[in-house]
Structure 1
Amino acid sequence: MSNQTGNTKINRWALLAASLGLAYVLVRYRQSIWGVLGRSAFQLQHKRIEVISSVNESQRILNELKSHCESFKVMGFDCEWITVGGTRRPVALLQLSSHKGLCALFRLCCMKQIPKDLRELLEDDAVLKVGVAPQDDAMKLSHDYGVGVASTFDLRYMAVMAGHQAEGLGKLSQTHLNTALDKNWRLACSNWEAPQLDSAQLNYAANDALAAVAIFQKLSKDLEPRTFWDWRAPKFKQLRPKLEPFLDVDFTKGFASGLGKTLSTSTFTHPLTSKSKPKRNKKHQQPQQQQPQQQQVRNLGTQSKAFYDNCVLEAPDGELLCTIDRRKASWYLNQNLGTQVSEQPFTVRLNFEPAGRAVGDVGRYYQTPKENQCVVCGRRDAYIRKNVVPREYRKHFPVVMKSHTSHDILLLCPSCHQLSNISDNKIRNKLAMTCEAPFGHGEGVSKYHDDQQLRNVKLAGKALLMQSDRMPSQKVAQLQKTILDYYKDVTEITPELLQKAAKLDCRVPNEEYCQHGKKVVQVYRDKLGGLVELERLWREHFLHTMQPKFLPKLWNVNHNANRLEVRASEGRIDNEDLVVAGLESVISVKNIARS
């Protein structure tokens, strides 16, 4: 009996030890286990592929897609097309998938138009269309069918935000879903306009869209980490504000200086993982193999030492004027413009009366010591200076507005700095449209362009210098005529003339060119309320997108307007500068005060 009791106790202790061991394993390795379970979900889900080849067939599937989007406002989004004779044909296939495993394949090449309900779904900005480089596909749909695709989102942004590598769709699927997508070039280049798509084509097209939604779900869990036992899905309403700055923003432009797991360091590598589709060709020609590009590296100048020295500058009577850095304080001493009165904090008292004293909240802002930390997340070990109002605009401001800009120079850690720069692209694009100020790159706008006649003369000169003895006489005569038609006062082709032609500068100024930043500043100055409105736009954008938790005290979106009003009350600003700033009302107050 005693042996039985002893065995029972041993079994209980063994069971307790096993339970504790299991609990330890579950807690200790919960992230790994959660990751495995998360990755297996995509493999186990039941997918359903629906092919729609006519407008009449589309209504039922569109109603089902819309109902799925009511509970989870995210769709996988992708397009396929073919290229014939080097020319891209209109988008042949549009893929839209829901989180419930439904993938609708719209054969636009058969439908010849976008059904009304499909257009409304694509244009619904409440529903995210996710994928890798979805903006490229959206542009093609817009060009080919005149439909605007709203709220496209590149999954690589989300990967980086969650601390992962920015990769193509295939690698993202392998990494986060443990699922290999078939990326055979023969399928990618197959005939998407064929009368009937085979099963391999259907699976290839559907899996890309389905994987996009699954990757989004997996990465959303990484962005909103939970305890192992919390199985609730992340709430999309809470997640969406984090993604807002990157909607409809091209990833390769947004992360111009590179991405990856190195976001937490000072060096970033150029993303070579952008989605690139081989040319679709009915002849199924194998695309030429490209040599791997060498990754570019850019150092963003991360600082680890203190940026703010918080030295003190005093007026001759000892009144606090502002905090400054050690270098500036030493300059006053070296120029015999001030005297050191304290070592801790390092304090310099001026030997002359300054132009102005600290007044109101504007003055108190400059008096307040600043913390050496990221104003967004509070990180203290590394940071980069962020110009809240980008320099490309600020440099065109009048002197009175582009001096004393420390208010708009904030410290961000490398990852927050990178994300902030990307979110800025959305405002730049908005300003480009509002002010009719296209960028000097990427949109066909450049300071110079090649004159075709000059180019032809230059090429003719080079060809005759290097290869005239190997060319047919008829070709030589044709090239000589090109040169003589340009140099009308010359009747004979000489080596000197050929040298002159070969060195021609083909570039001519583009009369329609206007620097983006300069044009925006001009428009705000003359038509949109003055430059304080442009400043306010950028500051409010920074607050909305980055939601900084550690801003300096008294940091204010209206800081410069308040500062200029103080200067106006002291008679230290011209009326012309007040007009440019958009503070005409201050002029009236200023005139009344004088009278």
Structure 2
Amino acid sequence: MNGSSTTTVKKWAILAASVGLVYVLVRHRYSLIGQVRRRIFLPGASNPIPFKQIEVLTTSQDAATQKIIKELKSQCQSLQVLGFDCEWITVGGSRRPVALLQLSSHRGLCALFRLCCMKQIPKDLRELLEDDAIVKVGVAPQADAMKLSHDYGVGVASTLDLRFLAVMAGHKAEGLGRLSHTHLNFALDKNWRLACSNWEAKQLEEVQLNYAANDALAAVAIFQKLCRDLEPRAFWDIRPLTSKDWLPKIQPFLDVDFTKGFSIGLSSSNASGCTVSSSSPMTAKSKPKKILVPDRQYCRKLGTQSKAFYDNCLLQAPDGELLCTIDRRKASWYLNQNLGTHIPGETFTVRLNFEPAGRAVGEVGRYYQTPKENQCVVCGRRDAYIRKNVVPREYRRHFPIVMKTHTSHDVLLLCPTCHQLSNVSDLRVRTKLATKCDAPFKHGDGMVKYHEDPILRSVKSAGKALTYQSEKIPPARKAEMHQILLDYYKDCNEITDELLKEAANIDYRVENDDYCQHGEKVVQMYRDKFGGLIELERIWREHFLLTMQPKFLPYLWNVNHNADRLEVRASEGRVDNADLLVAGLEAKANIGSKLNPNP
């Protein structure tokens, strides 16, 4: 090999090595930058926040306090997220007001507000906490927000439990300490003695300040890491995170309690979601509790379906025009009932022997003609899926018949993980509907159909005891029971067998006049006051699109599908005006009345 060839080979080798080095540096930029920063700024430490700046604030009107709050707001302009946590003490088994509030930015500034010294929330701090454009992240932040509201009358807007983000990114839902260790390789000090230390002390120790600051700082760092996991980028893409990247995904989980969210999600899906019991790490502020999180290895055992849901058989009119695609079972039913004839071909096809009520018209008709894919409409997963009712059945069941039939448009396939997340996100809409329609869905007076009358209950208890256990009851207690019965049955002067029998069988439940079924009340309010049931359907469909951002929706799936379908029926005279009015299609009903003055 001559010298020229050798030089060329060396040049190519150097070029290849350079390209490889650039790839490694860019691909692992976050890890390498973090390592360099830790080496330079905190030698020997494993800290994901090397630029940590802790500011302790003790007065509400001090210029330094105003300056730090202003700086926090300024740093939120590039990333609208704050780490959020609170500390307090317990005396004699009773919780004292929140003593310390921690807020941290993604740039390492952590402000420790000693509320026990301030006695009130500064005006600028109150505005920051109530700003719904800035997300406050942590583990169980809703609990801390409720304590602040109770103790100081301040609302904390847009709280996000990091466990929601972990689940969405395909990780385990863990406590803050485990999340920090797993995703930041940083061990938070969770010693219970430190967590239970005196946060109202005249002077906080250095170890207390670091403990409090690290929790809030780690929360922001975990948020950033999970957001990158949620939407992986190409190795050369070094753009910073923006709210457009993550806000639409977390919107449904803002201000939602993680454990309650998953519990309600499971109950609404008939336990078809996936559940795994997991214990939160024990802290000074909470006892271990069971939480429900989705996990793929368990999901496939619980209510999932792996065989094809859509058979995409063809149903034809007598003249051969395609009406819709149907499943094999329904196609076979038409044949068994002698209502159709099997047409040989590559796709299983049934041609009806009678003229159907309607034909495929417009985009509505083409939607039903189009074959559907057996995959999760959100992520495309094909090995396991669960049916998702976009408009929940608790509402749909109270719709008129014409809007309850042909609802396959709102039954979509989701993989177990997406199905569970979708159910949890539904909680936010249910809460808004409950408030707007005065239709509570949580445990409360409005959800209890019967109240227990304590007097009637004691009468029943006394009657049963004296009837079946009279010999074993001490005389003094028996006299008390006799008096309970005589006080209730005022017209009786003595205890008889008939009276005991009546008392033992008395019903101590009293019907609750305030009882309302959430779904029925919401449907009634939208039917009568809020624009019709088409509007209620639209709310749920737009919510599904916004929160889940499905990438594989069936062709021609449409937010206004039912409105279009009813308009087609109205043009063919196949729907009552009363149903059109209930749906909210008043204009179509008026047109129908003019065309058919004497129906």
Q: With structure 2 as the length reference, what TM-score do the two structures score?
A: 0.84
Q: Distance in 1 between matches of 2:484 and 2:19?
A: 87
Give 2:43's aligned residue: none
Q: Name 2:579's counterpart in structure 1.
A: 577
- Paired residues in the alignment total 573
Alignment correspondent of 1:262: none
Q: Partner of 1:438 in structure 2?
A: 440
Question: Aligned residue for 1:362?
Answer: 364
Q: 1:199 to 1:347 in 2, by over 3 A?
A: same
> Does the alignment pair 1:105 with 2:107?
no
Aligned-partner Cα distance in 1 for 2:581–2:531: 9
Q: 1:272 aligns with which of 260, 266, 278?
A: 278
What are the Cα deviations for residues 543-573 of structure 1, in whole angstroms up to 9, with x where unaligned? 2222222222222111111111221222222
C-alpha change, 1:74 and 1:292, in structure 2 (3 Å) is closer
Partner Cα distance (1:271, 1:18) in 2: 50
Asked if 1:222 corresponds to 2:266, the answer is no
Q: What residue in structure 1 maps to residue 56 of structure 2?
A: 51
**Deviation of residue 217 (structure 1)?**
1.9
Which residue does 2:97 correspond to in 1? 90
Contact 1:468 1:476 in 2 (8 A): no
1:290-369 to 2 correspondences below 5 Å? 300-369=302-371
Q: Distance in 2 between matches of 1:93 and 1:502?
A: 56
Q: Secondary structure at the residue paired with 1:147?
A: coil
- Cα 1:300–1:407 change in 2 (3 A) is farther
Quote the Cα distance in structure 2 between the aligned partners of 1:373 and 1:335: 32
SS at 2:101's partner residue? Answer: strand
1:263-305 deviation per Cα after TM superposition (whole angstroms, max 9, x unaligned): xxx872345345775469xxxxxx8xx7989999775522222
In 2, Cα distance between equivalents of 1:38 and 1:485: 82
Q: What are the residue-to-residue correspondences of 1:37-436 with 2, within 5 Å?
A: 37=35, 42-43=47-48, 45-57=50-62, 58-227=65-234, 231-256=238-263, 268-270=274-276, 272-274=278-280, 278=284, 300-436=302-438
What's 1:283 paired with? none
Distance across 1 between alignment mates of 2:212 and 2:378: 40
Counterpart of 1:537?
539
Q: How does 1:491-570 map to 2 (within 5 A)?
A: 506-570=508-572
Aligned amino acid, residue 354 of structure 1: P
* Structure 2 residue matching 1:55: 3-state secondary structure: coil
CA contact (8 A) 1:132 1:274 kept: no
CA contact (8 A) 2:48 2:221 kept: no
Q: What's the offset of the Cα at 1:169?
A: 0.7
Structure 1 position 372, deviation (Å): 1.8
Confirm or deny: 8 A CA contact 2:85 2:144 kept in the other structure. Answer: yes
Q: Which moved more, 1:196-205 or 1:326-335?
A: 196-205
Secondary structure of 1:79 counterpart: strand
Q: Is the 8 A contact 2:274 2:420 kept in 1?
A: no
User: Is the 2:450–2:510 contact (alpha carbons within 8 Å) kept by the matching residues of 1?
Assistant: yes
- In structure 2, what is the Cα distance between the partners aligned to 1:394 and 1:258? 17
Identity level (%):
68
Q: How far does residue 226 in structure 1 lie from its aligned partner after superposition?
A: 3.8
Of 250-259 and 233-242, the range deviating more from structure 2: 250-259
* Deviation of the 1:183 alpha carbon: 2.1
- TM-superposed CA distance for 1:450, in Å, is 3.0
Deviations 1:216-254 (A, max 9, x none): 122222223345565553334322222222212221122
Q: What CA deviation, in whole Å up to 9, does each residue of 1:328-364 have, x standing for no partner?
A: 0100111111111224211111111211122222122
Relative distance call for 1:114 and 1:572 in structure 2 (3 A) is same
Distance 1:80 1:449, change over 3 A: farther
**1:451-481 Cα distance to aligned partner (Å, 9 max, x none):** 333455567779999899898x877755654
- Where 1:122 maps in the other structure, the secondary structure is helix
303-312 or 390-399, larger mean C-alpha shift: 303-312
SS of residue in 1 equivalent to 2:84 = strand
| SS class of match (1:70) | coil
> Do the aligned partners of 1:135 and 1:248 also contact (CA within 8 Å) in 2?
yes
Q: Is the 8 A contact 2:48 2:218 kept in 1?
A: no
SS in 1 for 2:47: helix
CA contact (8 A) 2:279 2:291 kept: no
Q: Over residues 487-537 of structure 1, what are the superposed CA-to-partner deviations in whole Å (9 max), with x where a residue is unaligned?
A: 545656799988987887654332212111111100000000100110111
Mean Cα displacement is larger for which, 180-189 or 157-166? 180-189
Q: Which amino acid aligns with 1:51?
A: V
C-alpha distance in structure 1 between counterparts of 2:434 and 2:265, whole Å: 24
Per-residue deviation, residues 403-448 of structure 1 (Å, max 9, x unmatched): 1101111122222222222221111111111111111437874233
Asked if 1:453 is matched to 2:455, the reply is yes
Unmatched tracts of structure 1, length 5 or more: 260-265, 281-286
Judge conservation of contact 1:340–1:348 (CA < 8 Å) in 2: yes
**Displacement, 1:37?**
4.7
User: Whole-Å Cα distance in 2 between the matches of residues 504 and 191 of structure 1?
Assistant: 55
